[in-house]
Structure 1
Amino acid sequence: MIVCLLLAAGCSKQLTEDPRGLVGGSQALSSVAGLESALTGAYGSLMVPWNSGFTTVSQIAMTMGADDLTTHSGSNKEEFREFDRFNVSSLNSRMNPIWLGCYKTIQSTTNIINNYEQVQDGTTATVNAIVGEASFLRALCYYWLTRLWGEVPVIPSENYTPDLLTLGKSAPAEVYKLIEEDLKRAEEMVPDKKRDPGRPGKGAVKALLADVYLTEAGWPLKDQSKYALAAAKAKEVIDNKTTYNFELYQDDYLKIFAGGTTEDVFTLFTRGQWSTYNSFYGLSTMPENEGGWSDFFPELKFFRNYPAGKRKDATFSTQFVVKGDTISWQETTTGHPYYKKFTIQSGAKDVYMSNNPVIMIRYAHVLLIYAEAQARATGTPDAQAYAAVNAVRLRAGLDVLPEGLSGNDFAAAVVQERAWEFAGEWNRWFDLVRLEQVEAANQDKDQGDLKPTTAITKKQYWMPIPGADAIVNPNL
């Protein structure tokens, strides 16, 4: 519960803390060591196995309303099916890791942002880097929260007060205002190069801000002036990719998802140990025939429409070895192909603990943000917009887009390219929401896929507030 997040003790049933990085309030932030410790806690809250953050299958489950993801029609997947069929209960536990992880990180980063000026040691550059990273993480968390839940509480302080028991929800416009403020602060304070793998440099901040602008141009804010800002900010990253050490990775496409390539813009790196590991690679994305869990896999129509070529071959698993024999995807228990990009590439594959990364932003995102935003902002795609989307298509083994497309047709082609490029990577849902295409994407489904239980409305674009919080605070 939010109140639990702002208390230093209690709620032991809900919060299983990793003591590393815990800082006891603003008084502990009088040194650079204290700031670093609080920042470690902020990162850590996004990577607590099965409890908080993005290392579980939660973000995949919560974006199953898109046309690139579905789940088992039976088995123990009821909570997954709720998202795919648009009847999500407030008690669905798959929401908790994102909700909890984001608010725990918000608590830690707010502590840093509100109190860093009392630090007496260290260099200005070091302090700025820490505060910039904290600002980036807080913006990232509020961005995920408002895209998934819409109206969400904004925590004003790292300290507990009784008012938090009745804290109300803020409208998306208010949340986005804070997100922009945080990212502009981060843009000024973080260095060009990331301090370590798994941290944001200036290029990552600009990339996230470009993505935020692109989202603000669509539903629910519909501020179309943001398209020009999205294009301009993405262009800053593209024009300075050498400075930021970004590039579209041209070797084996599958290697991107093992992390550590030049395509990484912002990535959460795990250790594959009890303290932090990735649990949505491996068993989660394997069919039961191979001993897997069949948590998620692509919808059939999406798979069949996906353009043939080396990217498709690297994205999907279509053959499986069962007791020494090879079977096709049609012969699996679910009758679906699976996502190869989330298989474990080295070592045992049939495990739920891996050191695979959680890739939050790729350089391909930046290229496609620019291409779409530039076309929508001006009405005519320019040469750099064509170059951006065509770079992604050529790597996939596809032809370039035809010249002379209208702004609308070009933007639609880029959105479709985003669907193919980021298949299964929880991006498609957010595109469908901002473009108000959720309803259309859920029509004419294959008979082998799950269907919505009711007519889809805008109300279902957002998730219900997790029940435990709603019980404690009636204003939620």
Structure 2
Amino acid sequence: MNTRYSLLVTLLGAILMAGCQSLEEDPKGSLTPGTYFKTQADLDASVSAIYIQFARDGAWGFTNRSTSYFGSDDFTTDPGLNKEDFRLFDRLSGGSGNLSLVAQWQGPWQGIYQANNVIANYAKVSSTEVLKNQAAGQAYFLRALGYFYLVRTFGPVPIILTPIDVNDRPPRDPVDKVYAAIISDLKKARELLPPSFPNQPGKANQMAARSLLADVYLNMTGWPLNQTANYALAAEEANSVIQSNQYNLNTPYATVFTTNNSSESIFGLQYNVGGGLPLRSAGSSSVPLDEVAVNGSSGWDDYYPEINFYKNAPKCSRTDDTFYTTIKLRQPDGKTFKLVPWDSPETHARHPYYKKFRAGLNGDGVSETATSIASINPSTNKVYDIIRYPLVLLAYAEASAMAANGPTAASYNAINLVRRRAGLPDLTPGLTATAFRDAVVYERAYEFAGEFGVRWFDIVRLQLLPKIIAERSPEENPIPANTNINQKYLAPIPFNEMTRNPAWVQNEGY
């Protein structure tokens, strides 16, 4: 049995042994610390279970993890079919009863509750301090990761840092306090974790904690907190990762999305189809319904970019590797294919698609040549990178420029590293701080096109909805004329959660 498969079997076994919690589940059904947390193996299994909670299909393993992020210009979906949950948020009309939204809520909470169990009990384990601290550091990182996505998606949420009783109904805490808890956890993770875990992909290390902390500080500079003093803190944390020299952009852009744990992967969720933990946001999910493989499998048409987002992309090799613009239509003989452009009347959606999410791991998603498709699979073994090194470089570029009231040579170098790998010339020198920031935001939009909320969170913190709506093609799913854009930066709390917590007040506009 290979090492990765063995690890995933251990992870899956751990979740079955460990159980889990969420705001929808009975917390009493979680681990029993007195009988479980005894050895380092027990502790490691419990930490593994946290990763599983985030990675599973009902959390971040499928496209529904991005449901409310469909308000972004790098996401749209089919005007018909069974895509109503995604389409409503694409039209900025999603509501609290949206069933796909539940994954965005439950996934982080289940991870947070599992992390709380580990943090509350790791010190009792009979083991070395180094190993116990490494386990706890990962739990602190993962708890912070969960809260970071929750607070940016839903706004105020309860800060729950210890195991709670099933009957508890904690209040929603203000956004600034949630961020304070996230920062505290990441500082603790930074303290406890080693700089790396050699030959152990998927384990959060100190550089992952620093990278996430940089992103946290950067997000705090914008809406709703507008704490611009945090630019300097974001730059400091990002720079510490850069100076570590652990990561680089030597892997070609296209290869990042067809292989696992590349030279730029700082933190990624690991998947294994054979182990019962598939990634299903690659492969079929990002393939047009029009495409049918020789074996009869077809695309799901779940997500693709808006037309003008594609048209506004820079002309470079990264754009070629990002977007899929020639659709393969299987002919009546079942073996040959007709190639048509994305806007052909022979296609029903008339949109470009994402090329970078098709293949999965070396073709275990879509197996194809330039002129034919052998098979289209919905379950892949591809790692999903939550933090890639370009995210750190671009965070440093923006934060250092804004902190210094203008870009430094190091600011330019950081963004130019990303641009050079993309096949673009160096950025124009002499830009003002604001113009440079806008250039970084544009760069991030296309470096991370379609990647788990990256573009949406820039739209939120910089309040960009009016701009992207103005640039939206009339061919997109229509946004109702009376939509209050200012109320669409946060998603609604799911209906079931509001019912369970009658003292909570729903987000404005829902």
TM-score computed with the length of structure 1 as normaliser: 0.92
Correspondent of 1:48 among 14, 32, 56 = 56
Match of 1:126 in 2: 131
Which amino acid is 1:168 matched to?
A: P
Determine the C-alpha separation between the residues in 2 that align with 1:418 and 1:399: 16
Q: Is 2:190 aligned against 1:187?
A: yes
Residue 23 of structure 1: how far off its partner (Å): 2.9
- Alignment deviations for residues 89-128 of structure 1 (CA, whole Å, 9 cap, x no partner): 2111111122112111111111111222222x21111111
Taking the aligned partners of 2:197 and 2:403, their CA distance within structure 1 comes to 31
Question: Which residue identity lines up with residue 338 of structure 1 in the other structure?
Answer: Y
Q: Structure 2: which amino acid aligns with 1:306? A: A
Correspondence for 2:507: none
Match of 2:445 in 1: 419
**Cα drift, residue 30 of structure 1:** 3.4
For residues 376 and 327 of structure 1, do their structure 2 counterparts lie closer, same or farther at Cα, with a shift above 3 Å needed? Answer: same
Is the alpha carbon distance of 1:27 and 1:74 closer, same or farther for their aligned partners in structure 2, counting shifts above 3 Å? same
3-state DSSP of counterpart to 2:27: coil
TM-score when scaled to structure 2?
0.86
Q: CA 1:409–1:48 in structure 2 vs 1: closer, same or farther (change >3 Å)?
A: same
Q: d(CA) in 2 for partners of 1:179 and 1:229?
A: 14
Q: What is residue 218 of structure 1 aligned with on the other side?
A: 222
- The 1:325/1:220 distance shift into structure 2, 3 A limit, reads same
Residue 337 in structure 1 maps to residue 379 in structure 2:
no
Deviation of 1:2 after TM superposition, in Å, equals 4.3
Aligned twin of 1:386: 412
Partner of 1:355: 381
Contact 2:223 2:463 in 1 (8 A): yes
Q: Distance in 2 between matches of 1:102 and 1:66?
A: 21
2:31–2:117 contact (8 Å) kept in structure 1: no
1:85 maps to a residue whose letter is R
Give the direction of change, closer, same or farther, for the CA distance of 1:31–1:6 in structure 2 (3 Å limit): farther
Q: State the SS of the aligned residue for 2:92.
A: coil
Hey, what's the Cα distance between the residues in 1 that align with 2:104 and 2:397? 30
The reply on whether 1:452 has 2:479 as its aligned counterpart is: yes
Deviation at 1:48, TM superposition (A): 1.8
3-state SS of paired residue (2:252): coil
2:323 partner letter: F
Q: Post-superposition shift, 1:24?
A: 2.6
Q: Which residue of 2 aligns with 1:16?
A: none
Cα separation, 1, equivalents of 2:352 and 2:396: 32
Matched letter for residue 288 of structure 1: L
Is the 8 Å Cα contact of residues 140 and 185 (structure 2) preserved in structure 1? yes
For the residues of structure 2 that align with 1:189 and 1:257, how far apart are their CA atoms?
32
Q: Report whether the alignment pairs 1:295 with 2:312.
A: no
3-state SS, counterpart of residue 405 of structure 1? coil
Tell me the equivalent position of 2:276.
275
Cα shift readout 1:331-386 (whole Å, capped 9, x = no counterpart): 22100010011012424511111111111010000000000001111111111110
Identify which of structures 1 and 2 has the higher relative contact order when contacts are C-alpha pairs closer than 8 Å and 6+ apart.
Answer: 1
Compared CA separation, residues 281 and 375, structure 1 to 2 (3 A): same
Query: Does the 8 Å contact 1:218/1:435 carry over to 2?
Result: yes
Q: Secondary structure at the match of 1:5?
A: coil
* Partner residue, 1:305: 312
**1:192 counterpart SS class:** coil
CA contact (8 A) 2:284 2:365 kept: no
Distance apart, 1:404 and its partner CA:
0.9
1:99-110 correspondence runs (5 A): 99-110=105-116
1:400 alignment partner in structure 2: 426
Q: Is the 8 A contact 1:228 1:374 kept in 2?
A: yes
* Runs of 4+ displaced beyond 4 Å: none
Does the CA contact (< 8 Å) of 1:285 and 1:342 recur in 2? Answer: yes
Question: What is the aligned partner in structure 2 of residue 14 from structure 1?
Answer: none
Structure 1 468/26 Cα, relative in aligned 2: closer, same or farther at 3 Å?
A: farther
Counterparts of 2:496 and 2:55, CA distance in 1: 22
1:30 aligns with one of 28, 31, 38: 38
1:452 deviation in Å? 2.0
Counterpart residue identity of residue 138, structure 2: E
Q: Are positions 1:366 and 2:366 aligned together? A: no
**8 Å Cα contact 2:78/2:349 also seen in 1:** yes
The aligned residue for residue 465 of structure 2 is: 438
Residues 19-43 of structure 1, C-alpha deviations (whole Å, 9 max, x = no match):
xxx7334652233223212212111
Q: 1:97 to 1:3 in 2, by over 3 A?
A: closer
Equivalents in 2 of 1:303, 1:80: separation in Å? 19
The answer to whether the Cα contact below 8 Å between 2:22 and 2:113 also exists between their aligned partners in 1 is no
How far 1:326 moved relative to its partner? Answer: 1.1
Percent identical pairs in the alignment equals 34
Q: Which amino acid aligns with 1:193?
A: S
Mean Cα displacement is larger for which, 393-402 or 173-182? Answer: 393-402
Shift of 1:398: 1.0
Partner SS, residue 289 of structure 1? coil
Query: Alpha carbons of 1:348 and 1:297: their partners in 2 closer, same or farther (altered >3 Å)?
Result: closer
1:322 alignment partner, SS class: strand
1:178 to 156, 178, 181: 181
Question: Aligned AA for 2:115?
Answer: T
Alignment partner for residue 346 of structure 1, among 357, 363, 367? 363
Amino acid at match of 2:340: I
Mapped pair 1:429 → 2:456: yes
**Structure 1 residue 3: deviation in Å?**
4.2
CA deviations over 1:179-208 (Å, ceiling 9, x no partner)? 000000000001111362111111111000
How many pairs align? 456
Task: Quote the residue 1:263 is aligned against.
Answer: 264
**Relative to 1, partners in 2 of residues 1:273 and 1:475: Cα closer, same or farther, differing over 3 Å?**
farther
Tell me if 1:475 matches 2:503.
Answer: yes
Structure 1 letter corresponding to 2:122: Y
Q: Is the 8 A contact 1:254 1:315 kept in 2?
A: no
State the Cα distance separating 1:152 from its structure 2 match: 1.1
CA contact (8 A) 1:23 1:34 kept: no
Aligned to 2:81: 75
- Distance in 2 between the 1:26 and 1:185 partners? 25
For the 8 Å contact 1:5–1:107, the answer to whether it is kept is no
One-letter amino acid of the structure 1 residue matched with residue 303 of structure 2 = F
Equivalent position of 1:153 in the other structure? 158
CA contact (8 A) 1:285 1:297 kept: yes
**Mapped contact 2:364–2:381 kept (Cα < 8 A):** no
Stretch moving more, 394-403 or 226-235: 394-403
Q: Deviations over 1:384-417 (max 9, x none)?
A: 1100101111111111111111111111111111
State the partner residue of 2:373: none
The whole-number CA distance in structure 2 between the counterparts of 1:455 and 1:252 is 38
Cα distance in 1 between the residues matched to 2:253 and 2:462: 32
**CA contact under 8 A between 1:286 and 1:292: conserved in structure 2?**
yes
Q: 1:138 aligns with which of 132, 135, 143?
A: 143
